Each structure stands twice: as structure tokens, then as C-alpha cells.
């Protein structure tokens, strides 16, 4: 627990710093502390960057300093500095507030150079382009697309966005099944009431009989036992009145419950991942900023036993700090501990030897890396650089071509950062997203506790451990019970034409499933007065019109509801799910897992317009669809 709150304090401190940065006046203020980095001169560059806002041409000065910072980080072998990019994004936000759009664009371009995989840069840039000129729409779309691409490349963003999506999707499924169950209960209440009144023999008022199922379904929800209970209890009441198709959909809900232990375990991974020290350390090393806390963690031995990737991270840090012997030792240990990327360790070890000036040993390590993983583009590229330095140009060119064939884009990015510094001649294998995800998997100690806590939001009283037995029992017992009841009782149904509730006890069954009045009016046409017949036909027409109106109204208020009312349960639940997910995403995405650095969730008028427009269009589509189905 203390470790968890420690991380929270750490994060809160960083957020507070970011907020403060955003509100600090540009000139005359004390320069805020730079984010902690491996590189000592970056702090002074940061201070200069702050100073640049007093300069006569802040844009140009800022651009120069950002370039200097970028050069300095590349010399240390760091490709991306999201912490600095975040600070620049905050400065850009402030520039936007005072309508300095040009300056904001310059700052954001600088941020993009510092951290190409930091998503807020692209989103903010899209916003500034849009504010600048509405004709920039294409540029805006381009930046938004890049932002989404960056999200998939950035660990914390992909991590939290995926976690949020999993939670919202599970919640939306529960809510749509809950709403769907209530709509079905509305439809089946007259049938349940009829069956109950046949059973008690008319001694209890009709209204009280109709209220019985509703009280039993809604009471557990009101008492805080969760909406899953409501769905199960409603399904128990309705089961014998449902069509085969509807019973299948209810069965799907029970299967959905059955996979909850797995789904919530995954979700617990997302909740706990943010506080897992291994993940935090690995992500910091990947992003080139290592806090004192993380440095201490790297120095300890216990983390390595749980996750050998820590050794790979430690090697990277040692090399960035110039401790070459330490780096070699860590990479060797990583390979010996059975780390999942031995070729990466060999490649990075080659880079250490290259930095130390031992080209022959470097080349040997690259060759070993290629032998282990023939597709490792960095090793091909690095070996091409070394062989060229050894004046074996033909071989070097050959390897360079091979590297380009493996991944032309990666090789172009290596060429862009190329420079005289050893860290820019040969390229390290950084930690990958997969390395970080594995760190999450390793942190499984409190997963059960967290997944049970999450589960209690949906269903209290049945723990996740008992849930498989519970759902298995439902799947076997409910159809059996329904079958037994169906054989003993005459199950009430609605007349196909006028909607009147009947059962075989009160009327003679017809194979068209109509009430006797409708049967006389429409099929036999004997023993019925013309006047009565016309009245009945008008009544049937009116019933149909009312049904059509109710279907459309319900579809409008609750897209998918009309479909469920008409027996199109699967389509109805799907439509409900889409709408509920859309609304929940809008309302809750920031309140569960917040990406560090995503301080402001500005909901603009344009955002609301898009939200309502999408909702409205979907609503219209569903209402139209429901109407057409009803006309069939």
C-alpha cells in the first residue's frame, strides 16, 4: 500500500509541477525545475529555454534551444524525451490562451522533435491549426491521425487507453443488458401478471400482481447489490415467455458473466500496472528520464529476480552514463538470465565496445546478434557502420542494403540522427512496448483483491471464485425448470393481432395464436355481426399504429430499445451497447485511469457538437431501421 501511495505522490508532484508551469507568468518568474534526466547539461538548457521567453524573438530562440536539447539527448543515446515535450506542450497551451498561435506551433514542433511518440503534441498541434484557420482542416486531420499513431507507440497512453476501454466496454455491456432486460420485462409484465392471476385465482388486485416482478428485479439494484442481479432475476421471471432467440441472448449474458474472472483479472493488471515499480522504472528508462527512486530500484537486486528485463534497462542506463564496464556486465547477465531479447543485448554490447573504440569486438557482437535474430535491423545497420569504418566498403554497403530491406523507415530515422558522437553512429536497441507489458504481467500479487473489488461494482454477494459454479448452475437449471413449468402450465401469450393476453385455460387454442375475437373476425368469419367485425378490425389497426408509435418513441429515447421490444434482441442489445459505450466514454474516460501528463481534459464546444451529432445521427438511423422492421 505504501509503495502505491508513494507512486501517487510522485505522480501528483509531477502533475502539480506541470500545472504550475502552465500558470507561471512567462517573464520575470523564477525558472521551474527541469524534469530529472540522465543528462546534466539538459537542466541548464531547460533554464535557457525558460529565459528565451524574455528574448525579443522568443520563437526563434526557443527553436534554437530545443534543437540544442535534442542534440544533447541524441549524443547520450536517448531518442525521445516525453517529460520535456510535456512541459513544452504546457507552454504552447499558454501561448494559445494569449492567442500567440505562431509561438505555440513553434513550441509544439520542438516538442515533436523531442518526443515523436508523445500523443498530446499532435492533438494540441491539431487544435492550434484549427484555431489559426478553419481552412487548415486537412492539416488538422493529419495531426490527429499522427496522434492516434503515437498513442499506439507510447506505453502509458496505449496502456491507460486500453485499460479504460476494457473497463468502459465491460460497464457498457452490463448497462445495455440491464436496459434490455427492463424493456423485455415491460413487454412480458402483462403475461407474468396473467400467469400469476391464473395461479392465485383473481383474489389479488391486478396492479399488485404486475408490481411483483418489478420489485424483485429493482430492489437488489436499489440496495446496492449491482445491476447483474437485476438482469438475472428479470431473466428468471421472463424465461418461459421468451422466444428461442431471446433465450439465446440471455444465455449469452450468462456466458459473459462466466468470462468475468478472466476479464477482470486483465483489468486489475491495468489498475495495478501503473503502480508496479518495475513498469515505472522500465518506462522511465525507455523515455530517457530516470528519477532518483528508479535509479535506486535499478541498483537493487530483488527487481532482477522477478523481471530480467531490468538488467537490459540497467545496461542502457550504465552506457548512457558512460559506465561502459557496468553496461557490458549487465548485458552479459541479461543474456545469461534467459532474457527474452538476447540479440538486443548482443547488439547493445557491440555498441559499448564501439564506444570504447574496440571495433573488432563490436563487429563480433553484431554478428552474434544477427545470428540469433537475422531480422534485427539495428545490428545490420551498426555492423554496416563498423565495417565501413574498417574500410571494407563493399561489405558495409551490402549490410546497409540488407538493413534497408529489413526496415527502410527505421534506417532513415537512424540516418536522420547520425552524427560524430558514437551514440549517433551506432544505434541501441531500446526497451520495447512488449518489455513493458511483461513488467505488468509480473506484478500479480494484488490482482485478486483488485478484481474482486471491481466485480463488486457489478454484482455483490457472489465472488469471482464462486461465479463459474453460479453461472454453470444457471445455464443447466433454468432451461430445465422452464421446460418442467411449460409442461405443467398453460403459458400465457399475446394475441398476434390485437395484443390481448390469453392462455389455453381461458380460451380455446388456435394454431394462429390469436384471441377468439380476432380468429372469428379474420379467419372463420362466421357467427359474427358485420358491425362487430368492423369494430374489431379498427381496433386491430389502432393497436398496430400504437405499437409502431411506441417502437419509434422507444428507439428514439433508447436506441435499440424498439428492436428489443419487437423481438430483435441481439441487434437491439448491440445498438444499446454502442450508444452506452459512446456516452460512457464521453462522461467517464478521464475519471478512471488518467494518463500521467494528461492534466487538462478540455471539453470544447466543438467536442460537444461532435458528441451530440454522432449520437443524433445514430439515433435517427436506429429509429428508421426500427420503423422499417415494424412495417415488414
Residues that bind Zn ion (CB under 5 A): 495, 497-498, 500, 503, 505-506, 515, 518
Q: Name which of 506 and 557 has its Cβ closer to Zn ion.
A: 506
Distances in Å between the Cα of 458 and the Cα atoms of 59, 173, 224, 462 are: 53, 11, 9, 10
Q: Are 328 and 352 in contact (CB under 8 A)?
A: yes
Distance of closest approach, residue 200 Cβ to Zn ion, in angstroms: 12
Gap between the Cα atoms of 46 and 35, Å rounded: 9
> Which residues share a beta bridge with 502?
493
Distance of closest approach, residue 217 Cβ to Zn ion, in angstroms: 23
Distance of closest approach, residue 551 Cβ to Zn ion, in angstroms: 19
Gap between the Cα atoms of 449 and 466, Å rounded: 15
Pick from 511, 489, 547, 576: nearest CA to 191: 489
Pick from 276, 328, 286, 335: nearest CA to 306: 276
Q: Which three cell numbers stand for residue 339?
A: 532474457
Distance of closest approach, residue 564 Cβ to Zn ion, in angstroms: 23
375, containing H or E segment? none
Q: Name which of 346 and 519 has its Cβ closer to Zn ion.
A: 519
Q: Name which of 360 and 504 has its Cβ closer to Zn ion.
A: 504
Query: How would DSSP label each residue in 177-224?
Result: HHHHHHHHHHHHHHHHHHHHHHHHTS-S-HHHHHHHHHHHHHHHHHTT
Q: Are 156 and 214 in contact (CB under 8 A)?
A: no
Distance of closest approach, residue 521 Cβ to Zn ion, in angstroms: 8
Gap between the Cα atoms of 314 and 308, Å rounded: 10
Phi and psi at 494, nearest 5°, equal: -95, 140
Distance of closest approach, residue 233 Cβ to Zn ion, in angstroms: 24
Pick from 109, 99, 107: nearest CA to 132: 99
Q: Name which of 518 and 564 has its Cβ closer to Zn ion.
A: 518
> Which residues share a beta bridge with 501?
494
Q: Name which of 126 and 495 has its Cβ closer to Zn ion.
A: 495
Phi and psi at 547, nearest 5°, equal: -60, -45
Q: Name which of 421 and 544 has its Cβ closer to Zn ion.
A: 544
Pick from 391, 395, 378, 382: nearest CA to 353: 382
> Which residues share a beta bridge with 494?
501
Q: Name which of 115 and 515 has its Cβ closer to Zn ion.
A: 515
Distance of closest approach, residue 536 Cβ to Zn ion, in angstroms: 8
Q: Which three cell numbers stand for residue 274?
A: 501503473
Alpha helix ranges (H) inside 445-568: 447-455, 467-488, 516-519, 530-557, 561-565
Three-state secondary structure call for residue 324:
helix
Terminal Cα distance for the chain, rounded: 60
Q: Name which of 162 and 510 has its Cβ closer to Zn ion.
A: 510
Furthest C-alpha separation in the chain = 110
Three-state secondary structure call for residue 286:
helix
Instruction: Give the β-pairing of 501-502 and 493-494.
Output: antiparallel
Q: Which three cell numbers stand for residue 241?
A: 415467455
Q: Name which of 181 and 502 has its Cβ closer to Zn ion.
A: 502
Q: Are 622 and 555 in contact (CB under 8 A)?
A: yes
Rg (alpha carbons) of the chain, rounded to whole number: 33
Q: Name which of 201 and 338 has its Cβ closer to Zn ion.
A: 201
Distance of closest approach, residue 550 Cβ to Zn ion, in angstroms: 18
Distance of closest approach, residue 197 Cβ to Zn ion, in angstroms: 8
Q: Which three cell numbers stand for residue 172?
A: 457498457
Distance of closest approach, residue 497 Cβ to Zn ion, in angstroms: 5
Distance of closest approach, residue 585 Cβ to Zn ion, in angstroms: 45
Q: Name which of 197 and 289 has its Cβ closer to Zn ion.
A: 197
Q: Which three cell numbers stand for residue 408?
A: 527502410
Distance of closest approach, residue 490 Cβ to Zn ion, in angstroms: 7
Q: Which three cell numbers stand for residue 626?
A: 426500427
Gap between the Cα atoms of 570 and 230, Å rounded: 19
Q: Name which of 28 and 527 has its Cβ closer to Zn ion.
A: 527
Q: Name which of 486 and 616 has its Cβ closer to Zn ion.
A: 486
Distance of closest approach, residue 234 Cβ to Zn ion, in angstroms: 22
Distance of closest approach, residue 591 Cβ to Zn ion, in angstroms: 50
Contacts of residue 4, defined as CB under 8 A and 6 or more positions apart, other chains included, come to 275
Three-state secondary structure call for residue 27:
coil
Distance of closest approach, residue 495 Cβ to Zn ion, in angstroms: 3
Q: Name which of 43 and 490 has its Cβ closer to Zn ion.
A: 490
Distance of closest approach, residue 207 Cβ to Zn ion, in angstroms: 18
Gap between the Cα atoms of 479 and 484, Å rounded: 9
Q: Name which of 102 and 504 has its Cβ closer to Zn ion.
A: 504
Phi and psi at 9, nearest 5°, equal: -60, -45
Q: Name which of 48 and 500 has its Cβ closer to Zn ion.
A: 500
306, containing H or E segment? helix 302-306
Length of the chain: 632
Amino acid at each position: 500500500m505504501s509503495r502505491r501511495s508513494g507512486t501517487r505522490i510522485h505522480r501528483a508532484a509531477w502533475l502539480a509541477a506541470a500545472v504550475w508551469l502552465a500558470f507561471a507568468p512567462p517573464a520575470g518568474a523564477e525558472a521551474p525545475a527541469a524534469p530529472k534526466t540522465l543528462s546534466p547539461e539538459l537542466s541548464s538548457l531547460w533554464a535557457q529555454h525558460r529565459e528565451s521567453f524574455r528574448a525579443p524573438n522568443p520563437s526563434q530562440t526557443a527553436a534554437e534551444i530545443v534543437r540544442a536539447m535534442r542534440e544533447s539527448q541524441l549524443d547520450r543515446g536517448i531518442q525521445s524525451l516525453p517529460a520535456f515535450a510535456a512541459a513544452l506542450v504546457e507552454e504552447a497551451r499558454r501561448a494559445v490562451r494569449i492567442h500567440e498561435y505562431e509561438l505555440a506551433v513553434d513550441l509544439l514542433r520542438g516538442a515533436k522533435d523531442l518526443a515523436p511518440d508523445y500523443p498530446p503534441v499532435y492533438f494540441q498541434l491539431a487544435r492550434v491549426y484549427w484555431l489559426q484557420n478553419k481552412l487548415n482542416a486537412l492539416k488538422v486531420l493529419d495531426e490527429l491521425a499522427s496522434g492516434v499513431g503515437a498513442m499506439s507507440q507510447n506505453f502509458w497512453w496505449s496502456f491507460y487507453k486500453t485499460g479504460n476501454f476494457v473497463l468502459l466496454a465491460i460497464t457498457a455491456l452490463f448497462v445495455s443488458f440491464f436496459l434490455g432486460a427492463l424493456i423485455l420485462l415491460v413487454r412480458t409484465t402483462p403475461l407474468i401478471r396473467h400467469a400469476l392471476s391464473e395461479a392465485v385465482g383473481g383474489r389479488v388486485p391486478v396492479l399488485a400482481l404486475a408490481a411483483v416482478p418489478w420489485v424483485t428485479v429493482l430492489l437488489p439494484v436499489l440496495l446496492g447489490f449491482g445491476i447483474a442481479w437485476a438482469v438475472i432475476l428479470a431473466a428468471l421471471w421472463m424465461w418461459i415467455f421468451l422466444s428461442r432467440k431471446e433465450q439465446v441472448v440471455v444465455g449469452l449474458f450468462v456466458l459473459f458473466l462466466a468470462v468475468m474472472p478472466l476479464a477482470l483479472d486483465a483489468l486489475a493488471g491495468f489498475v495495478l500496472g501503473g503502480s508496479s515499480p518495475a513498469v515505472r522504472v522500465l518506462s522511465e528508462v525507455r523515455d530517457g528520464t530516470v528519477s532518483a527512486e528508479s535509479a535506486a530500484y535499478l541498483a537493487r537486486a530483488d527487481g532482477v529476480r522477478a523481471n530480467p528485463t531490468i538488467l537490459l534497462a540497467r545496461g542502457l542506463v550504465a552506457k548512457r552514463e558512460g559506465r561502459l564496464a557496468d553496461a557490458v556486465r549487465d548485458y552479459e547477465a541479461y543474456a545469461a538470465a534467459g532474457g527474452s531479447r538476447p540479440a538486443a543485448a548482443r547488439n547493445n554490447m557491440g555498441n559499448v565496445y564501439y564506444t570504447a573504440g574496440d571495433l573488432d569486438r563490436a563487429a563480433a557482437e553484431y554478428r552474434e546478434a544477427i545470428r540469433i535474430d537475422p531480422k534485427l535491423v539495428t545490428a545490420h545497420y551498426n555492423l554496416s557502420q563498423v565495417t565501413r569504418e574498417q574500410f571494407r566498403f563493399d561489405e558495409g554497403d551490402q549490410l546497409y542494403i540488407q538493413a534497408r530491406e529489413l526496415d527502410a523507415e527505421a534506417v532513415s530515422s537512424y540516418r536522420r540522427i547520425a552524427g560524430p558522437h558514437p551514440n549517433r553512429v551506432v544505434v541501441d536497441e531500446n526497451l520495447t512496448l512488449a518489455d513493458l507489458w511483461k513488467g505488468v504481467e509480473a506484478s500479480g500479487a494484488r490482482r485478486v483483491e483488485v478484481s474482486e473489488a471491481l466485480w463488486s461494482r457489478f454484482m455483490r454477494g457472489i465472488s469471482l471464485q464462486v461465479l463459474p459454479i453460479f453461472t454453470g448452475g444457471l445455464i443447466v437449471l433454468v432451461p430445465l425448470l422452464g421446460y418442467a413449468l411449460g409442461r405443467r402450465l398453460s403459458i400465457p401469450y399475446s394475441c398476434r393481432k390485437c395484443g390481448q393476453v390469453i392462455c389455453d385455460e381461458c380460451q380455446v387454442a388456435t394454431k394462429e395464436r390469436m384471441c377468439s375475437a380476432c380468429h372469428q373476425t379474420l379467419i372463420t368469419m362466421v357467427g359474427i355481426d358485420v358491425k362487430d367485425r368492423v369494430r374489431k378490425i379498427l381496433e386491430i389497426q389502432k393497436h398496430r399504429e400504437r405499437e409502431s408509435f411506441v417502437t419509434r418513441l422507444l428507439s428514439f429515447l433508447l436506441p435499440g430499445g424498439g428492436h428489443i421490444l419487437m423481438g430483435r434482441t441481439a441487434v437491439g442489445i448491440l445498438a444499446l451497447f454502442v450508444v452506452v459505450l459512446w456516452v460512457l466514454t464521453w462522461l467517464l474516460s478521464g475519471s478512471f485511469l488518467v494518463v500521467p501528463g494528461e492534466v487538462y481534459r478540455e471539453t470544447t464546444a466543438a467536442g460537444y457538437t461532435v458528441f451530440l451529432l454522432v449520437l443524433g445521427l445514430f439515433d435517427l438511423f436506429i429509429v428508421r431501421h426500427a420503423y422499417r422492421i415494424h412495417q415488414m
